[in-house]
Amino acid sequence: MTDPAGGSEVGPVVLRMLQRLAEAGIGPARAESRQIVAHVLDVSLGDLSLAELTGRLRVSAEQMHTIETLTERRARRIPLQHVLGRAPFRALDLSIGEGVFVPRPETELLVERALELLSERRAAEQTSDSDRDDAAAVDQALTDGTRRDVAPRRLRVFEAGTGSAAISLAIATELPHTHVRTVELETAAEAWARRNIVAYTDALAAADSTVELVAGDAIADLAVASSSLLPAHPRSRAQAAAQMTPGRPVAESAGTFDLIVSNPPYVPTGDIPLEPEARADPDTALYSGADGLDFIRELVAPAFAALRAGGSILLEHTEQQGSDVRMLLETAGFEAAQTHRDLTGRDRFTEARHPSRH
């Protein structure tokens, strides 16, 4: 219903958009139509629900045009995140568009486990430091009457293939005193990642954390990182091999990172997603050889070399790949490999630990 003086009522607008999306075969048509309307009106979904009941919020002609335009884009099976230009991820609201992988809710569980592992590592270090330094601290306090509270060591994380920087930003903003080195090869995706990192400058500063974005090949960068040649920033694995110190195996490195994490390409090249929305993701973020494991296969050795003793690796994968990923990790020298399930009960990601001694 339209009021010439005040625009259209919200309820009928949502219903019209719902019907259009349903005709296009979109399953969650009601939820997505409401998200589009709320986005254009710049209100929360809760406020939109209230407006649907009370009729107090009106939709102007200009807003109606925008709603219809966005709805038509979604009806063409353009991902909702691309339509809105935004994607929620944990506490983040990320800029998303063409050329970058859309972060999935399932990956939030990967981040949750990453935060647990890093927190456990920090707590163990602080306990060890406290035991070792107690006597010295007491002596110092007795000598000069002061007590110093020392900030925890800055934990170092490496993300291979960052996409929108969702994983890196979630870790760095939620866990203080953390440095994340994150690498992206694709130019378009790297631009989205940089945009998101800049948008969260204040949140990173508040957490006293940093995210270092590198444009290049993640596996090549990790191999160089493990041989203490970080400034080189190689864009290819061939460049990384050329920059390695002659005669020095990567496995002899002392280790740089406390955690290596990745939601890598893991779809077998023959398995084209059925959903049109999934096909909007860059191929390089999806496909990885005949069995989907080429990227992980190349990652595990430099990852093992680049981890500090007792550090961990976390890798997302399909529900069919858990046993193969565990085998690859164990063959590379990792210990305690275990696969975690998502909320639907499907195998979703695998973790493993670097031995406590190099």
Q: If you ran DSSP here, which 8-state letter would residue 287 be given?
A: B
Stretch 5-17: mean pLDDT = 87
Question: Does residue 215 have a pLDDT over 80?
Answer: yes
69 contacts 75 by C-beta, under 8 angstroms: no
Report the SS3 class of residue 45. helix
What average pLDDT is seen over the chain? 87
The answer on 292 and 176 residing in a single domain is yes
The answer on 144 and 26 residing in a single domain is no
Total count of residues recorded for the chain: 358
Residue 59 structural domain: 6-76
Predicted TM-score (pTM) of the model is 0.84
Q: Which residues pair with 210 in a beta bridge?
A: 179
pLDDT at 325 (0 to 100): 98
Rg (CA), the chain: 24
255 contacts 356 by C-beta, under 8 angstroms: no
Each residue's pLDDT tens digit, 139-195: 555 456 555 556 778 999 999 999 999 999 999 999 999 999 999 999 999 999 999
What CATH number is given to the structural domain containing 211? 3.40.50.150
Asked whether the CA dihedral 221, 198, 284, 314 is positive or negative, the reply is positive
Write the DSSP string, 52-74: HHH---EE-HHHHHHHHHHHHHH
Angle at which helices 10-23 and 29-41 cross, to 10°:
130
Question: Does residue 127 have a pLDDT over 90?
Answer: no
Each residue's pLDDT tens digit, 300-323: 999 999 999 999 999 999 999 999
Each residue's pLDDT tens digit, 238-267: 554 444 333 233 333 357 899 999 999 999
The answer on 315 and 261 residing in a single domain is yes
**Assigned domain for 99 exists:** no
